[in-house]
């Protein structure tokens, strides 16, 4: 089972970063790969069990379900329900931690999934570098 882990230090206080992460439907506000993102059935964006539907800039459609949200620990966990990618059992967690020196935020984004062996390397790179690292870079730009 492949797994992906990326982390970064964001030069912003955790109380500026967490609201963007915890609102599950706001992905298109800050991630450059996402054209639009909506929560299905008008559910609250932070309600565990809500499903977001989004479209990538390349036209790919995804549906993801919020599995857990912890405001105290600043963690969010979700799974992919539908996607054009050749993977299943995708589970991902985003976690924020306060860095007291400089009032910055440590952010990690990790996942595991099942995929065909021949797609493993390409998916690990796409998820880690394009989605996760691209998201970190975009958050820095968005919050600047």
Q: What is the mean predicted confidence (pLDDT) over 79-87?
A: 96
pLDDT at 103: 93
pLDDT in tens, 7-33: 999 999 999 999 999 999 999 999 999
pLDDT in tens, 43-82: 999 999 999 999 998 999 999 999 999 999 999 999 999 9
Q: Which residues contact 79 (CB under 8 A, 6 or more apart)?
A: 64, 65, 67, 89, 90, 91, 92
Residue linked to tokens 């963690």: 75
Q: Give the residue from 51, 48, 99, 96 showing the smallest Cα distance to 72.
A: 96
- Residue 89: pLDDT band with limits 50, 70, 90: very high
**Using CA atoms, how far apart are residues 15 and 30, in angstroms rounded to an integer?**
16
Q: Which domain holds residue 82?
A: 3-143
CATH number at residue 125: 3.30.530.20
**Using CA atoms, how far apart are residues 18 and 134, in angstroms rounded to an integer?**
17
Number of domains making up the chain: 1
Q: What is the pTM of this model?
A: 0.94
pLDDT at 61: 95
Residue 102, judged by CB atoms within 10 A of its CB (0-12, 13-18, 19+), counts as exposed
Query: What is the CA angle 47-44-142, rounded to 5?
Result: 95
């Amino acid at each position: 089972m492949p797994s992906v882990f990326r982390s970064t230090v964001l030069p912003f206080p955790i109380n500026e970063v967490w609201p963007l992460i915890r609102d599950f439907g706001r992905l298109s506000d800050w991630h450059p790969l996402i054209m639009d993102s909506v929560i299905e059935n008008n559910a609250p964006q932070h309600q565990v069990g809500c499903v977001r539907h989004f479209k990538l800039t390349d036209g790919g459609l995804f549906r993801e379900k919020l599995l857990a949200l912890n405001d105290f620990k600043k963690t969010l966990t979700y799974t992919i329900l539908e996607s054009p990618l050749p993977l299943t059992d995708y589970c991902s967690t985003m976690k924020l931690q306060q860095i007291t020196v400089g009032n910055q935020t440590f952010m990690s984004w990790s996942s595991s999934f099942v995929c065909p062996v021949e797609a493993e390397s390409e998916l690990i790179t796409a998820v880690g570098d394009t989605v996760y690292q691209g998201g970190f870079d975009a958050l820095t730009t968005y919050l600047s």
